[in-house]
Amino acid sequence: MNWSEWKEQNQFLRIFEEFSKIPHCSHNETAVSNWLAELARGWGLEVMQDQKMNLYIRKPASPGYESRPPIILQGHMDMVCEKNTTTCHDFIQEGIEMIVDGDWLHAKETTLGADNGIAVAYMLAILQDKDAKHPTLECMITTEEETGMGGASAIDGTWFTAKAMINLDSEEEGYALVSCAGGMRSQFEIPFKREPAGLKSKGFRLEVKGLKGGHSGAEIHHGRGNANQILGRVLGALTEKFTFGVSAVSGGNKMNAIPREAQAILMVEPDALESISSHLHFLEAVINQEMRGKDQLELQLHSMEEMVSVWDRESTERIISALVLCPNGVQTMSVNIAGLVESSTNLGVVSTNEDTVLFESAIRSSMGSLKREIADRVARLAVSLGGEHRIGSEYPAWEYREDSPLRDLLVESYREQTQKELQVTAIHAGLECGLLGRTMSDLDMISIGPDMKDVHTPEEALNLPSAVRTYKFLLNVLKNYND
């Protein structure tokens, strides 16, 4: 089917398209929150917005369901805004341009935002549907999920009467999540001093590119290259053989996305250029051999016109050491669930400011003590290199619940719909369930969603048949829900 046919047959896809026309990166959700609120009020529903622009929407039970207990549907309206360097797309002003490729929906050179716009579309479609069978629905659509769950941290739990919640922020059909890791944002800065570059030096931009990137929780175990750490490794290898100056380093856009690209501004004397270029080709081949089957790297060197000052030798050594030594990737694996990452950290963003280089990491763990231990290692590294460390936002893990009537209902409903068994499992990526469970005690929660791939990258895609099946599954669960 083409995109028009998919939309004609599925109201939630029409809503998703309209939703996606409104810019909604994290911290830029006011316009889309107002649009959603206006829609719901137009349907005669009870709507509340809080200061964080979180939305609370209540729809009365359908006829015959008034005596059944209410249930919460939950997702977030913000998205990770990543794009290819070849596009000039402006996420602040422009919506998402969608493309259908077979059964997959993706965007033109940007993230799609199905994480978690598809949850918003599901909820809005059910809220609008007069024929859907369900108890009282209490919908919660949060903001700032992708940058530390700031919206969920501010939720007013007293508005809700339900004791069960379906989170719609998962990315694999046939799996129901019942536990997730907690996380924190870690930042440290290393100061530097500058000095003039050599009189004969010319400017060059060293680029690390071509990597896949991905979600720093769901895909951290795939062994994909981290552009920031590779940049540190390459700079370190070059300093062992050649004399040149470094003026700046940068890489990545989001702490919770594995960085695909990074760059350094170098001042190189022309006599050394050919040897440096040759060694870069050698390093590219070595690193690609190490990552074979997992990722593919490109190292490129581009000339620049302007002359710039460079860091002194001590500053250069400290900053390269920070890039190389900062903890990154999988740290521990679960001993209870085979194949599940227990703790990890992702050096997601590196940026050069006026007199410091800033390093930003997303740390995750299902154990609070391990999360703090990783943060302590980062802090000790920062201090040893003359820097300062700080912790940003933090959210708790979502712990497994032994007794869950909601889980039992989903297992039964999935078996009825598909004649297959629903896989109940945990995930290393963070979900808002941990924070919301702390805000609203004794909340029975589960998380589901359709098949997606490469989220948090410009290759993000939503499987359309899976999205349709998952929506029908959700409708079936609401129809059968009776605590």
For residue 138, which of 218, 55, 208 has the smallest C-alpha distance? Answer: 55
- Whether 271 sits among the annotated catalytic residues: the reply is no
pLDDT above 90 coverage of the chain, percent: 91
Active site (annotated) includes residue 454: no
Q: What is the mean pLDDT of residues 145-153?
A: 92
Residue that has been written with the tokens 């797309």 in this structure: 89
358 and 281, same domain (yes or no):
yes
Q: What's the confidence (pLDDT) of residue 392?
A: 87
Number of domains present in the structure of the chain: 2
Strand, coil or helix: what is 71?
strand
pLDDT in tens, 329-377: 999 999 878 889 999 999 999 999 999 999 999 999 999 899 999 999 9
Marked catalytic residue, from 144, 145, 284, 432: 145
Tell which residue, 382, 374, 317, 369, has the closest CA to residue 346: 374
* Residue 113, phi-psi category: left (phi > 0), alpha (psi -120 to 50), beta (remainder): left
pLDDT at 483 over 80: no
String of DSSP letters for 210-227: ----EETTTTGGG----H
Q: What is the pLDDT of residue 308?
A: 85
In whole angstroms, what is the distance from residue 157 CA to residue 354 CA? 42
Nearest-10 crossing angle of helices 114-128, 464-480: 50
Q: Does residue 211 register a pLDDT over 80?
A: yes
Do 151 and 208 lie in one domain? The reply is: no
* CATH number of the domain bearing residue 167: 3.40.630.10
> Looking at the predicted structure, is the pLDDT value of residue 306 above 90?
no
Q: Mark whether 241 and 389 lie in a shared domain.
A: yes
- CA pair distance 469, 449, nearest whole angstrom: 10
- Do 88 and 159 have their domain in common? yes
CATH number of the domain to which 223 belongs:
3.30.70.360
If asked whether residues 173 and 281 sit together in one domain, one would say no
Task: Specify whether 354 is located in the same domain as 455.
Answer: no
pLDDT average, residue stretch 91-119? 96
| pTM (predicted TM-score) | 0.82
Please check whether residues 351 and 234 belong to one and the same domain. Answer: yes
What is the structure's pLDDT at 40? Answer: 98
Boundary-marking domain end, from 360, 395, 430: 395
Mean pLDDT over all residues of the chain?
95
- Three-class DSSP category at 167: strand
Closest CA to 276 of 240, 320, 226: 240
Q: How far apart are CA 118 and CA 132, in angstroms?
A: 18
Share of the chain above pLDDT 70, in %: 100
Residue 393 — very low, low, confident or very high, per pLDDT cuts 50/70/90?
A: confident
Q: Terminal CA-to-CA distance of the chain, rounded, Å?
A: 38
Same domain (yes/no): 330, 437: no
Q: Which residues contact 398 (CB under 8 A, 6 or more apart)?
A: 179, 180, 182, 431, 433, 434, 437, 445
pLDDT band of residue 307 (cuts 50, 70, 90) is confident
Of 350, 376, 395, which residue constitutes the final position of a domain? Answer: 395
Q: What angle do CA 260, 263, 267 make, to 5 degrees?
A: 165
β 388-395/104-107 pair status: unpaired
Residues 148 and 189 in one domain: no
- What phi-psi label fits residue 428: left (phi over 0), alpha (psi between -120 and 50 degrees) or beta? alpha
Could you tell me where the DSSP H helices lie in 358-404? Answer: 368-384
Domain stops at, among 367, 395, 423: 395
Same domain for 13 and 107, yes or no, is yes
User: Whole-angstrom Cα distance, residue 147 to residue 151?
Assistant: 10
- The secondary structure element, H or E, covering residue 296 is none
pLDDT band at 429 (very low <50, low <70, confident <90, very high): confident
pLDDT at 167: 98
Domain membership of residue 391 as a residue range: 184-395
- The single residue of 78, 138, 219, 295 carrying the catalytic annotation is 78
Closest to 136 measured CA to CA, from 61, 50, 213: 61
- 232 and 325 assigned to the same domain: yes
Does one domain contain both 162 and 100? yes
